[in-house]
Amino acid sequence: MRAATAVALVAMVACGGSAKVIEGRLAEVAGDLETVDSFVLLTEAGERLRFLADPAARFGDAPLSHLRDHLVSGEPVVVSYEERGDDLVATAVDDA
């Protein structure tokens, strides 16, 4: 996990945030060329989790549309997310 992600996670825990973190590979990315509305993550345990993209979410220092590169390459990602009602909402994504 990259240092920036680790620092962000420590900050969320220290502030009492309810964000959770999971790693996996992308199976789908929905949206247009510049935006991401949602994506599906496959975990090592075989779960398929659908995430909505928080409008403020970023992929490290890049736009969230960088997810498409990981969809093609198969490289895993780390997703920070919150449960909002019945939805999983991605608040940040980074390289695994």
Structural domain range at position 52: 3-95
Its pTM stands at 0.80
CATH number of the domain at 22, please.
Answer: 2.40.50.320
C-alpha distances in angstroms, 61 versus 10, 38, 58, 66? 18, 19, 7, 10
Indicate the number of domains in the chain. 1
Please report the pLDDT score of residue 2 as a whole number. 46
Walk along the chain (96 residues) and give the pLDDT tens digit of each residue: 444 444 344 444 444 457 899 999 999 999 998 899 999 999 999 999 999 999 999 999 999 999 999 999 999 999 999 999 999 999 999 999
